[in-house]
Amino acid sequence: MPGGKELSGPAQGSGAQSPTPLVPAPSASTLWADLQALLPRTREGLQLDFGEAVESSVVLLLQQTADLLYGEGGSLNSCLRLSEIVLDYSWEKLNIGKWRDVDKEWRRVYAYGCLFKALCLCHDGGAVAEAVRTCDLGLLMGASILDNVLARVIGVLQPHLPRPKRPMAGDVKEPLPKKIRPGSEDVPAIKAPERIVRLRCPSLEYFRDNFLLPQKPVILEGVVDHWPCMKKWSVEYIRRVAGSRTVPVEVGSRYTDEEWSQTLMSVDDFISQYIENENHTGYLAQHQLFDQIPELKQDIGIPDYCCLGKGEEDDITVNAWFGPAGTISPLHQDPQQNFLVQVLGRKYLHLYSPAQSEKLYPHEGHLLHNTSQVDVEEPDLASFPQFETAEAQTCILSPGQVLFIPVQYWHYVRALDTSFSVSFWWS
């Protein structure tokens, strides 16, 4: 912006306790130049104005941080310190009360705090991994700012990430076997009357008339074979593309367990602790993964049959389900049509029509009213006697197969192997 403060200028001075001026070390200057190219040329272009919910003192802090970044005197350390104060304060705002009641302006503040902190962290090329983590937190908890700048910053930082340590020659005599948990040996038998129909590439009309309109589940084959994920994805590929990224993980084998919880961790740690380690169960199950990691989104498509819905393509929710053998999604129902696409490993599923709801004993509380109290594979028939007469449809979903789960259809899922599925919720 003409007459504005420009980002690229050298520091005009330095803070008393913080001698590092805002001029990048020569080795980091390419990285810094690439980052600069993503930001508005002048400090005014940052659009640091917020709604009434945000106290003016916080806006002032953000403006001071931006002044430091844009060369209005100061140092890297003071800039980092200010951004961390903004982050601490806005983090509190994000975590008080219910998520849906959080004012979006606080999510914008948090995103700016993350942006400024990440820039300070990698200014001298030093803390790129921490900067990526900071941007990921901004993507997960903040609102989108400056045309999704946090995702674009990560795109620039990724090639500068330190490579994972490799053993030196002589350290290891033979290649170490990869410790991926074996799949389940005892694959459940599927009885004929319960079996879900399988079809190869039915026409849109055939699918609509025979399955969508009458709301019947079906397994579609041959409809996603051309998606790149079918050939490319493996645990190693996920680690290579997304290892350094911070994502939410569900810890525990099912969300109805007392000890189940959610945490944030890197994909690398998730793979080491939950995919390669037999003693823990965790699930990387989330709807933001593909927005957060565009490299993975490029490998999938949208099933053609979604065009039969009334909504726009942008309204489709795409969920990732990545976890070890034994991960269970308890019997529950969802308010939209679902295509569950199996990419890696196999899953064992039980489906029940909404007409069976009474025999499935949904939890009474508001939070879990869409979840059954029955443990499908080991039902307590003394407590839930009608479950015995509930009519199940079952299947083993293998890579390349797509299961259509109609709206409100109850579904129970157990991974038989290390598994990656992608589900599409559409209306």
Ligand X SMILES: O=C(O)CCC(=O)C(=O)O
> Judged by CB under 6 A, which of 338, 371, 372, 394 binds ligand X?
338
CB 425 within 8 Å of CB 336? yes
- Strand boundaries in 222-346, DSSP class E: 246-251, 261-266, 282-286, 317-323, 328-332, 337-344
Q: Which is nearer to ligand X, 244 or 342 (CB)?
A: 342
Q: Which is nearer to ligand X, 144 or 288 (CB)?
A: 288
The angle at the Cα of 343, spanning 342 to 347, to the nearest 5 degrees, equals: 40
Please state the closest distance from residue 319 (CB atom) to ligand X, in A.
6
Please state the closest distance from residue 347 (CB atom) to ligand X, in A.
6
Q: Is 395 in the site for ligand X (CB under 6 A)?
A: no
As a whole number of angstroms, the distance between CA 183 and CA 420 comes to 13
Please state the closest distance from residue 334 (CB atom) to ligand X, in A.
5
Q: Which is nearer to ligand X, 39 or 351 (CB)?
A: 351
Please state the closest distance from residue 260 (CB atom) to ligand X, in A.
14
Q: Which is nearer to ligand X, 266 or 338 (CB)?
A: 338
Measure the N-to-C terminal CA separation of the chain; round to a whole number of Å.
Answer: 44
CB 115 within 8 Å of CB 148? no
Contact region for ligand X (CB under 6 A) — 2-10, 88-96, 297-305, 332-340? 332-340
Please state the closest distance from residue 285 (CB atom) to ligand X, in A.
7
Q: Is 281 in the site for ligand X (CB under 6 A)?
A: no
Q: Which is nearer to ligand X, 114 or 416 (CB)?
A: 416
Q: Which is nearer to ligand X, 179 or 287 (CB)?
A: 287
Q: Is 221 in the site for ligand X (CB under 6 A)?
A: no
Q: Is 421 in the site for ligand X (CB under 6 A)?
A: yes
As a whole number of angstroms, the distance between CA 65 and CA 144 comes to 19
Question: Radius of gyration (Cα) for the chain, nearest Å?
Answer: 25
Which two tokens mark 119? 């820039």
Q: Is 340 in the site for ligand X (CB under 6 A)?
A: yes
Q: Which is nearer to ligand X, 14 or 357 (CB)?
A: 357
Contact region for ligand X (CB under 6 A) — 90-98, 249-257, 273-281, 333-341? 333-341
Residues of span 109-148 touching ligand X by CB under 6 A = none
Q: Crossing angle, helix 104-122 and helix 29-36, to 10 degrees?
A: 150
Closest residue by Cα to residue 411 from 347, 329, 344, 342: 329
Buried/exposed code over 67-98 (b: 16+ C-beta within 10 A; e: otherwise): bbbbbbebbbbbbbbbbbebbebbeebbeeee
Q: Return the residue matching tokens 């993964």.
A: 289
| CB closest to ligand X, residue no | 423
Q: Is 342 in the site for ligand X (CB under 6 A)?
A: no
Q: Is 321 in the site for ligand X (CB under 6 A)?
A: yes
Q: Is 274 in the site for ligand X (CB under 6 A)?
A: no
* Count of residues that bind ligand X according to CB under 6 A: 10
DSSP state of 360: H
> Judged by CB under 6 A, which of 44, 291, 334, 375 binds ligand X?
334
Please state the closest distance from residue 413 (CB atom) to ligand X, in A.
4
Beta bridge partners of 339: 404, 424
> Judged by CB under 6 A, which of 75, 329, 372, 373 binds ligand X?
329
Q: Is 423 in the site for ligand X (CB under 6 A)?
A: yes
CA neighbours within 13 Å on the CB side: how many for 15?
18
Which two tokens mark 100? 């849906």
Q: Which is nearer to ligand X, 83 or 423 (CB)?
A: 423
Q: Which is nearer to ligand X, 70 or 339 (CB)?
A: 339
Q: Is 413 in the site for ligand X (CB under 6 A)?
A: yes
Q: Is 371 in the site for ligand X (CB under 6 A)?
A: no
How far is CA 390 from each of CA 331, 357, 369, 381, 383, rounded to the nearest angstrom?
13, 9, 18, 12, 15
Cβ contacts of 232 within 8 Å, gap of 6 or more: 299
Q: Which is nearer to ligand X, 136 or 417 (CB)?
A: 417
Closest residue by Cα to residue 336 from 293, 374, 290, 287: 287
Contact positions toward ligand X, by CB under 6 A? 319, 321, 329, 334, 338, 340, 411, 413, 421, 423
